[in-house]
Structure formats: structure tokens, C-alpha cells
A = this chain, B = another copy of it.
Amino acid sequence: MDSINTLGKNARRAETVLSGASAEAKNAALTALAKALCEKSDFILSENAVDIENGRRAGLSESLLDRLALNPERINGIAQGVRELADAPDPIGRISEGSVRPNGLKISKITVPLGVIAVIYEARPNVTADAASLCLKAGSAAILRGGKEAINSNRAIADVMREAIAAAGLPADCIQLVEDTSRESATALMRLNEYIDLLIPRGGAGLIRSVVENSTVPVIETGVGNCHIYVDASADLDMAADIIFNAKTSRPSVCNACEKVLLHRDIAPAAFEKIKARLDEKNVKILGDEAICAMSADVSPASQEDWEREFLDYIIAIKVVNDIDAAIAHIGEYGTKHSEAIITSDYDSSEKFLARVDAAAVYVNASTRFTDGGEFGYGAEIGISTQKLHARGPLGLSQLTSFKYIIRGNGQIR
């Protein structure tokens, strides 16, 4: 597609300028961008109203409309996030290793921008500003392709941001929006190896699968979290119930929410009673294996597919396991390598779980909801990586960089 190719070329050209920009210049652009988002919020809100109106007419669900909707507080929140980024330490030019080799060569390993980062996401206009400003701070040009339902909002936000950073002296093309929201434009992005260094899909399992299947550009998978909490035989059952209640109900639509609970058979009935009492407070629908179904008439049987999927809703599935090994094996089979937790008071169980569960974040006696850039102390993030290459867990500023070796010599030959 010509238009996508042009975006790629523009991004590459902008990136060569941006990668040489000082931290001061980038921070000034971010500050200007935050200011512009607030000053032009009426324009952004009026464009957003068009998307909301179209969405209502198209029959979008209330929860989708809620994600799509902007208001003055949300815009202020976005701008505040951008201002915090401006204040954050610059991730570029850090020397992470260095040595003088026996032959006198001085080698430094130094962080550099990735170059051009493309983000494909769904109908959440806040991502347009969040992703663009993170990429800018990380010294990379951003190509953004949001969902078609948010196109008017995204175009407005992108225009405001482009104008602001151009006025601040950086190329407007550091931020570009793909206005063509067809499937073809997404596919073209996925094959644009010449101009894109990293593609991040941010959204549901279907989007991510499609990107992994079709992309020749390097991808970081994000966001699918079929997270488990295993309650060990030795667990403090009140703590278990509190953590499961928090991990399921504090924000059910996010990827670090708990979707599955595994109960050691020795404490299963007592644990189930306490957990169910808490979950009932929020009318969480409980699915279960045979043993759990036998404990309460309120429980429906979980299907094979239920064990595999994210509910992202007030639904949870609970299963009884024979021991910690069975719990670890179940997580190995159904987990998505996002966040997994054990509730235990036994030292050996805690160490075994931490060592043997393969996920970005493995917890003892804490809620899976902490897998988050802010909670880890890394600041803003563009998503949670569930793959093992390059970045795992919160994809913050320092994960959005690459590095190079610079080597100073005085005539060395080999």
C-alpha cells in the first residue's frame, strides 16, 4: 500500500532527527504537547462526540462506548501523564556496560532509540496520546493505527500533538496516524520491515494472534492475561480470599486481573467458602470443575474453553488440584505467561512456585494486579509483554530502547 509506505518513509526521516535530539528538546516537545491537549480539549471532545454518536448508532456496547469516551478529566489525566513523562529520566545514551579490552579497545554498550515503533490498538483514544508520547521520549517515531470506531478522536488528538511538537522544533512526523482503518492497512504495516523496527499490538487475543501470524516486522506480544492464583495447603485463607477478591474485582477488564483459582484439595472446601463469600459481594459468577460444582448450587461447570480464555468480566473459574505440582502443571498448560500467584505460608512451596512457573511476573502472597509499570516503579508503559524476547512484563521507557556498542581504538587490527 502506497500510503502506508509513505508513512514509513516519513517516520524514518523523522526518526533520524529525533534520535539526535537532546533530552531537553524532547521534554520541551512533550510539555508543549500536554499543554496543547488541554488547550484544544474542546476540539478533541467535539470530534470524540462524533465517534460516540456513530458508535451508538452502530450498536456498540456500553463498555466499549465507555472506553471510547473522553471528557475534560480524562484529557487532563492524559496530559498529566505526558507531563510526568517529560519529567522522567531520559532512557537514551545510558552506558550499561563498558570495559577496556587487553588490546586497548574501549568498548561501551549504550542505549539508543529503537527507531520506528508501530502500535496497532483498538478503540481507545487515550492510547493515541499515551503511545505517541512514550515513543517520543524513547527517541522513536510512532506510527499509530487505532480502531475505526475512534478515528475522529484519534485524528483530532494526532493533529493537536503533531502541531505542538512541530512548533517545539521536532518533526511533526515523529507522530503519524494511519487514517485508513481497513484490514489492509494493518496488514501492510505488519510487512513494512524496511521502515518499522518494532510492532506492538495492544488489544484482545484476536488482534494479537493476527499480528503474530502475519507480521514479518519484529513484534512484542502484549496483554493477554489468563492469570491464576493458586491457594496452597498452608495458605492463610483470609489472605487468599482478600487477594482473590482484589485480583478479580478491582478492575475485571484488565490483563492482570485474576481469571482462575486453583485450590489445594486439603483446604478446598474451607477456602472455597471464604472466597465465594467475598466474590458474592460483587456478584461474581463462579464456574468450577466437578469438585467445586459439588460444593455449591451457585456454581456452573467450566468448559475446556473456559480454562483457556480470559473472561475480562465478573466471572471466575475455580478448580481443585491434588498438590502444588498439579497447580504448576495446570498453569504451564493454560497460562499466558503474564502474572501468576501462589498464596502460601510454606517456604518450600513459595520457592518452588517462583522457580518453576514461567511468567513475566510470579507472585507470592500478593495480587496479580500489581503487574504494571507504575506499580513496579517504572512509570508509564505501553502494555505488558507476554513474550520472552527483548522485554517481559511492563513495557516502559527503558524497554522501548535498543543499544549499540561504541568502540574507540587507536589503530587496532585483529
Contacts and interface: CB of A to CB of B under 8 A. Distances in A.
Given A358-B112, A363-B407, A414 B246 contact: yes
B408 A367 contact: no
Contacts of A362: 404-407
A376 B220 CA distance: 28
Given A105-B366, A212-B216, A389-B389, A405 B246 contact: no
A414 B250 contact: yes
A362 to B, nearest CB: 5
A387 B242 contact: no
A3 interface: no
A242 B388 contact: no
Pairs of residues from A and B, 3 with the lowest C-beta to C-beta distance, nearest first: A366-B409, A246-B413, A388-B402
A288 interface: no
Contacts of A411: 236, 239, 242-243, 365-366
A377 B99 contact: yes
10 contacts: A99-B377, A101-B375, A107-B376, A114-B388, A197-B388, A212-B216, A220-B389, A362-B407, A369-B413, A376-B405
Contacts of A220: 389
A414 B216 contact: no
Contacts of A219: 218
A390 interface: yes
Report the copy number of this chain in the oligomer.
2
A183 to B, nearest CB: 18
Interface SS of A by simple majority:
mixed
A192 interface: no
Contacts of A356: 20
Contacts of A216: 212-213
A360 interface: yes
Contact of A212 (B193, B242, B243): B193
B366 A412 contact: yes
Residue among A247, A350, A408 facing the most chain B CB atoms (10 A cut-off): A408
B365 A410 contact: yes
A135 to B, nearest CB: 14
A393 interface: yes
B242 A413 contact: yes
A314 interface: no
Contacts of A413: 242-243, 245-247, 250, 366-367, 369
A370 B16 contact: no
Interface string A375-405: 1110000000001111011000000001111
Contacts of A365: 408-412
Contacts of A405: 360-362, 371, 376, 392-393
Interface in A181-217: 193, 197-198, 212-213, 216
A404 B332 contact: no
B242 A16 contact: no
Contacts of A250: 413-414
A364 interface: yes
B243 A407 contact: no
A359 interface: yes
Given A114-B388, A245-B413, A393-B405, 10 more contacts: A105-B366, A197-B388, A197-B389, A198-B388, A218-B218, A362-B405, A364-B407, A365-B408, A366-B411, A393-B404
Contacts of A1: none
Contacts of A247: 413
A330 to B, nearest CB: 14
Interface in A112-143: 112, 114-115
